[in-house]
Amino acid sequence: MSDTALDVAARIARGDSTAIDELEVCLGRIRQHDADINAVVTLDEAGAFAAARAADALRAAGGPLPPLLGVPMTVKDAFATAGLRTTASHPPLAHYVPATDATVVARLKAAGAVLVGKTNLPELASTPQCWSPLFGPTRNPWDTRLTPGGSSGGSAAAVAMGFSYIDPGSDIGGSIRIPAACCGVAGLKATENRIPRTGHIPHLPGGRRSVRHLLSFGALAPSVADLQTALAVLAGPDGRDVEVPRVPFRLAPPPGRPLRIAWWDAFGGLPLCRRTRAALARTVSALEAAGCVVERRCPEGFDVLKAWQAYGWIAGTEIGLGMPGLARRLIAAMDSFVTRDQPIAHAFVQGLALDAQRYSRALNTRDRMVRVLERFLDSWDTWLCPVACTVACPQTELVWWRRPPDIEVDSVPWPFVEAAIGMVTPFSLTGSPVVVLPAGVEDGLPVGLQFVGCRWQDEALLATCADIERVLGARPVPPRALTTDRWT
């Protein structure tokens, strides 16, 4: 069993360990393994030791302690870090050093976390793999031939390997959920606009903001309890992101009755690999055996094909508004080369045309889908679904001018975009909170499943997932991590 962020904080608070000790353990793991994994792209040992010494001094002084005192954290390189290089893997930002922290970074520091370094991502957090033009690929801790997922691939790999115990993530099309599933860690995509985006790239520093929908924030960590603490720290307005409402964090108790869990496995005709099917079936059986009410159900009127189209139109329009005009037009001109077996990619390219009527239709579809899903979840504690068609797949460098290679699902090729993000984008469209939990290891690779909740009810979803986590058991640890000293 691996440590959690709260385990580390508790050891430091009790005086059983120090922040310096815990930092040295994580740095030892990074030195031993990160040459193979390439998760941490900017290491700040001097700053981390200074923060750890300050944490130990605060502990020695007595008095109330912040919830993450001395806990080593890494930060996805899309979030600004004051005085520390922040690139978003975008070559023009290779030497960019912000003057201030992103809101999520400032809040985690205020909660006592110790920043160890920045983690890898694809350029501008743009793909569900993790290949950076500045730093190269991050490799999956379970099998270095495979992707850790993206865009928060470096974050998930770092947490899986114990390089850190928490890493804030961003998710517009599975960027927290896919890496969590690929690497075997817990992940939270909070309700859209629950956590401020201030200091996140994109948009580019000093640039105008164009993305107004679909993007959510959260964290990757070893356990649901860690995610509960992260949400309590991160949620709420910051006075700068004007779309974050005053929704106070209220820790939710367990339901106090058998959980009601709906599950589904059919998304627009997409297949599931044998590993994912086995883990899903085992999870359903385990939940039933634990006394939960579990039924295979889908919300009436939840049209996945329409959700994909609306998602693509909104994403294409809003991302396109932030692109240089020539680049946007060049990609939009590729519409005739996108085949009809690529509905998400096709809709995204259409969105780049910046058609106001099409954009308005997509937003109205989004409204309908939110209503359908919220009504459905009035009767269920969560909706359990796969994260993707398959577990971690081979790593690929993705470039905009070339169709990405198909993803093989049990040796059958499927279009890359749809196979990678087709099961996560409906919940990006609705802005719903989603927790990903590890559901075991199948043939040497972890399988993650996503649990969807009602909008603005993140705390209730996390309480439900804490009960589910107890049924599923402790998260799996990559075998290579077990070779590190003091892995408990």
Find the helix or strand (DSSP H, E) in which 145 lies.
none
For 265-329, give the DSSP string: --STT----HHHHHHHHHHHHHHHHTT-EEEE---TT--HHHHHHHHHHHHHHHHHHTS-HHHHH
Query: Is position 151 annotated as part of the catalytic site?
Result: yes
Residues 265, 271, 276, CA angle at the centre, nearest 5°?
65
Beta bridge partners of 74: 117
Amino acid residing at 17: S
Alpha-carbon gap, residue 437 to 245, rounded angstroms: 27
Contact 224, 469 (CB under 8 A): yes
Contact 142, 397 (CB under 8 A): no
Question: For residue 339, what pLDDT is reported?
Answer: 74
Which tens digits make up the pLDDT trace of 147-171? 999 999 999 999 999 999 999 999 9
Which tens digits make up the pLDDT trace of 340-388? 789 999 999 999 999 999 999 999 999 999 999 999 999 999 999 999 9
Contact 275, 445 (CB under 8 A): yes
Residue 488 has pLDDT above 60, yes or no: no
Q: What is the pTM of this model?
A: 0.96
3-state DSSP assignment of residue 381: coil
Mean pLDDT of 451-475: 97
Across all residues in the chain, what is the average pLDDT? 95
Find the helix or strand (DSSP H, E) in which 408 lies.
strand 407-409
Mean pLDDT of 21-48: 98
Where does 322-457 have alpha helices with state H?
325-332, 343-351, 356-377, 416-421, 425-429
Alpha-carbon gap, residue 443 to 91, rounded angstroms: 38
From 136, 126, 135, select the one nearest 174 (Cα to Cα): 126
Which tens digits make up the pLDDT trace of 390-438? 999 999 887 766 778 999 999 999 999 999 999 999 999 999 999 999 9
CATH architecture of 5-264+276-287+433-483: Alpha-Beta Complex (3.90)
Q: Where are the domains of the chain?
A: 5-264+276-287+433-483, 304-363
Q: Which two tokens stand for residue 217?
A: 């924030």
The whole-angstrom distance between residue 358's C-alpha and the CA centroid of its chain comes to 29
**Which one from 2, 76, 189, 306 is the annotated catalytic residue?**
76
Which tens digits make up the pLDDT trace of 281-310? 999 999 999 999 999 999 999 999 999 999
Count of beta carbons in the 10 Å neighbourhood of residue 237: 17
Contact 165, 73 (CB under 8 A): yes
The dihedral built from the CA positions of residue 219, 221, 224 and 225, taken in this order, carries a sign that is negative
**Which one from 132, 155, 170, 175 is the annotated catalytic residue?**
175
Question: For residue 173, what pLDDT is reported?
Answer: 97
**Which one from 89, 126, 132, 151 is the annotated catalytic residue?**
151
Q: What pLDDT band is residue 1 in, cutting at 50, 70 and 90? A: very low
Alpha-carbon gap, residue 460 to 19, rounded angstroms: 32
Alpha-carbon gap, residue 413 to 419, rounded angstroms: 9
